[in-house]
Amino acid sequence: MKKPQDKTARMTKALREGGVRVTRQREALLKVLTEAADHPDAAELHRRAQVLDDTVSLATVYRTLTVLEREGVVHRHSFESGGARFEVADPVHHDHIVDIDTGHIIEFRNDKIEELQRLIAAEMGYEIVHHRLELYCRKLA
Amino acid sequence: MKKPQDKTARMTKALREGGVRVTRQREALLKVLTEAADHPDAAELHRRAQVLDDTVSLATVYRTLTVLEREGVVHRHSFESGGARFEVADPVHHDHIVDIDTGHIIEFRNDKIEELQRLIAAEMGYEIVHHRLELYCRKLA
DNA sequence: GTTTATGCAAACTCTTTGCATGTAG
DNA sequence: CTACATGCAAAGAGTTTGCATAAAC
């Protein structure tokens, strides 16, 4: 069982070492991000962060998310509808299943599919820098 | 060698049978779409369609693309940056490699990867309705 | 003739930015 | 103390929409 506070501590350390200032607002956002079990968008992160610190503005949420993404501690996804959604970067890459009826997002990882992608790209003379695989699904009866 | 005019003819037929009116503007857009070897966005399609019919407005381009997508003759993609990009629906599904240096988009199809996706979804109790696989790549040296 | 599509401009959503002020290191 | 981060409001990009007019069937 990984404790969220450990994650936050590791993240703030990584940020400071990257020359990034850890402000009250950024601490609030980091806490909200590490505690999120879902994939919230910027507005939702703003709402959650304001509970912890009501001075957090939406502009800062966006600016901070950009910084966190650049520092590699957050991943940005854009699923089929709506704006960008965010999650704390997982050291192990995973893909997503989107339940088109409920909107729920499920993570999965499959080494075979990762390897196949690498092979396909290589056959075409390419090396994968990053990729995106989303399965839009419906629950089986 | 498939002739573009055949494609357009088939598409207009499908549209009329779907109760959709085929206007001058829609004809221009269909022609531009079938002749496109790339994946243009709405603004680019607007530019190209205006060469054929200068009364085509951007609003109509958007409205028509929505109709064409609903009728199944066009696919809409949203790659990592910029707005939506469109292509005539391919009867055989394909995925995309995006060259991150040039922006070029290459299509590919791989049955094994399609099958793997189906298996993964099934294992989680899901059936795939549609999916999206994009490989953001760099040319190998 | 009816019903649907169009152009235009305004509105909308999501995101970014300029600027004066605040604050982390 | 100085450089960087912030809030606010305004601007931006991409897309949609209300309305009066035009045209497909």
pLDDT classification of A4: cutoffs 50, 70, 90: low
Q: Which residue has the higher pLDDT, B139 or A11?
A: B139
pLDDT digits (tens, 9 = 90+) for B31-78: 999 999 999 999 999 999 999 999 999 999 999 999 999 999 999 999
pLDDT value at residue A9: 83
Q: Which two tokens stand for residue B92?
A: 């055989």
Alpha-carbon distance of A49 to A87, in angstroms, equals 14
Structure tokens at B29: 């857009």
pLDDT at B133: 97
Q: What are phi and psi of B108, to 5 degrees?
A: -150, 160
Which of residues A2 and B33 earns the better pLDDT score?
A: B33
Cβ pair A126:B113 closer than 8 A: no
Reported pTM: 0.89
Distance between CA atoms of residues B61 and B56, nearest Å: 7
Q: Which amino acid is at B140?
A: L
Query: Hey, of B76, B97, B105, B116, which one would you mutate to test binding to chain A, going by the most A CBs within 10 A of its CB?
Result: B97
Mean pLDDT, chain A, whole residue set: 92
Question: How many residues can be counted in chain B?
Answer: 141
How many residues appear in chain A? 141
What domains are defined for chain A? Answer: 4-88 (1.10.10.10), 95-137 (3.30.1490.190)
Instruction: Select the residue of A97, A106, A116 nearest B110 (Cβ to Cβ).
Output: A116
Protein-contacted positions of strand C (CB under 7 Å): 4-10, 13-18, 23-25
At a CB cut-off of 8 Å and minimum separation 6, what does B137 contact? Answer: A121, A126, A127, A128, A129, B97, B98, B99, B100
Query: Pairing state of beta strands B105-108 and B126-139?
Result: unpaired
Does B83 lie at the interface with A, CB-CB under 8 angstroms?
no
**pLDDT tens by residue, A50-98:** 999 999 999 999 999 999 999 999 999 999 988 999 999 999 999 999 9
Contact A137 B117 (CB under 8 A): no
Report whether B108 contacts A118 (CB < 8 A): no
pLDDT of residue B4: 57
Which chain A positions have a beta carbon within 8 Å of B112's beta carbon? 116
Q: Which pLDDT band, with edges at 50, 70 and 90, does B8 fall under? A: confident
CA neighbor of A25 nearest in space, from A5, A53, A62, A48: A53
Q: For residue range A107-141, what is the model confidence (pLDDT) as tens digits?
A: 999 999 999 999 999 999 999 999 999 999 999 98
* Contact residues for B114 (Cβ-Cβ < 8 A; gap 6+): B93
Categorize the per-residue pLDDT at A17 as very low, low, confident or very high, splitting at 50, 70 and 90. Answer: confident
CA-to-CA distance for A48 and A56, rounded, in angstroms? Answer: 10
Instruction: Quote the radius of gyration of chain A (alpha carbons, Å).
Output: 17
Q: B116-135, pLDDT tens digit by residue?
A: 999 999 999 999 999 999 99
- SS3 call for B137: strand
pLDDT in the model for residue A69: 95
